[in-house]
């Protein structure tokens, strides 16, 4: 049996997530400033709305989702819901093109932070892994998911980590599972989605 890192080290947070969290707001702010000083006939506010919407959903898909394994619980943060799952309440794991946790009552909890089908995310992760050893990226094939064996292997690796921990977890009632709506994220998504038609109507 391979060594499993301490639970505190098991996090799906990629290194590029902070870059998106900082870079995308800066991009939106720059576009808004340009729109504020541009002549109305340029339609810059319409472009600003599109950029804001694209930036928000890029962050929501690629930087916000998270999978963390703590001492006795698994935290799954998807776009709209955050789950806190005691290890003992998890009956099994499904992996492949995606990762899904199966609870003891057969409830399925998808883990959008770990996926084998998102080429953008997997390529970014591959750049991280490739450059950590001091290598330079020479061409696209160096960091493509297929060339480096990343993709479905990412979900399988996480599945194995969780399965190892499940073998030692005492059964826990599913009633101890908590699910929380990400209210602020949901509200912001509604507002951002409404920006585009509003900007089009006003310009």
The string of pLDDT tens digits covering residues 81-136 is 999 999 999 999 998 888 999 999 999 999 998 876 544 455 444 444 444 444 44
Query: Which pLDDT score, from 0 to 100, does residue 142 have?
Result: 43
The strand pairing partners of 84, in sequence order, are 75, 178
Distance CA 2, CA 160 (A): 10
By residue range, what is the domain housing residue 38?
A: 15-63+183-203
Report yes or no on 166 lying in a domain: yes
Same-domain check for residues 99 and 164: yes
Provide the b/e sequence for 110-129 (b: ≥16 CB within 10 Å). Answer: bbbbbbbebeebbbbbbbee
The total of structural domains in the chain comes to 3
> What pLDDT, on the 0 to 100 scale, is given for residue 75?
94
Decide: pTM greater than 0.75: no
The verdict on 94 and 167 lying in the same domain is yes
Q: Are residues 112 and 156 in the same domain?
A: yes
* Mean pLDDT estimate for the chain: 79
> Are 144 and 118 in contact, with CB atoms under 8 Å apart?
no
Tokens 């061409």 appear where? 139
106 lies in the same domain as 157: yes
Give the integer Cα–Cα distance in Å for 64 and 58.
Answer: 9
For residues 54 and 133, state if they share a domain.
no
81/111 same-domain check: yes
pLDDT for the residue 159: 92
Question: Is 124 found in the same domain as 79?
Answer: no
Burial of 199 (0-12, 13-18, 19+ CB in 10 A): buried
* In a shared domain, residues 78 and 144: no
Clarify whether residues 142 and 200 are in a common domain: no
Residue 86 contacts residue 78 (beta carbons within 8 Å) = no
Do 100 and 166 reside in the same domain of the chain?
A: yes
How many C-alpha atoms does 30 have within 13 Å on its Cβ side?
Answer: 7
The predicted structure's pLDDT at residue 14: 65
- pLDDT of amino acid 91: 96
- Assess whether 108 and 30 both reside in one domain: no
Which residue ranges in the chain fall short of pLDDT 70? 1-10, 14-16, 116-152, 203
Helix (H, G, I), strand (E, B) or coil at 68: strand
């Amino acid at each position: 049996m391979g060594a499993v890192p301490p639970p505190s080290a098991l996090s799906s947070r990629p290194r590029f997530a902070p870059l998106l969290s900082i870079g995308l707001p800066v991009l939106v702010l720059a576009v808004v400033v340009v729109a504020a000083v541009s002549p109305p006939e340029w339609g810059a506010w319409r472009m600003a709305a599109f950029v804001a919407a694209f930036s928000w959903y890029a962050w929501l898909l690629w930087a916000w989702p998270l999978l963390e394994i703590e001492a006795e619980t698994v935290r799954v943060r998807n776009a709209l819901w955050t789950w806190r799952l005691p290890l003992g309440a998890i009956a099994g794991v499904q992996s492949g093109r995606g990762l899904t946790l199966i609870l003891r009552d057969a409830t399925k909890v998808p883990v959008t932070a770990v996926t084998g089908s998102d080429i953008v995310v997997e390529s970014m992760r591959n750049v991280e892994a490739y450059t950590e050893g001091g290598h330079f990226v020479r061409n696209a094939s160096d960091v493509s998911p297929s060339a480096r064996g990343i993709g479905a292997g990412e979900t399988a690796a996480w599945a194995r980590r969780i399965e190892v921990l499940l073998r030692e977890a005492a059964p826990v009632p599913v009633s101890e599972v908590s699910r929380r709506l990400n209210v602020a994220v949901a509200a912001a998504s509604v507002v951002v989605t409404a920006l585009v038609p509003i900007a089009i109507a006003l310009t």
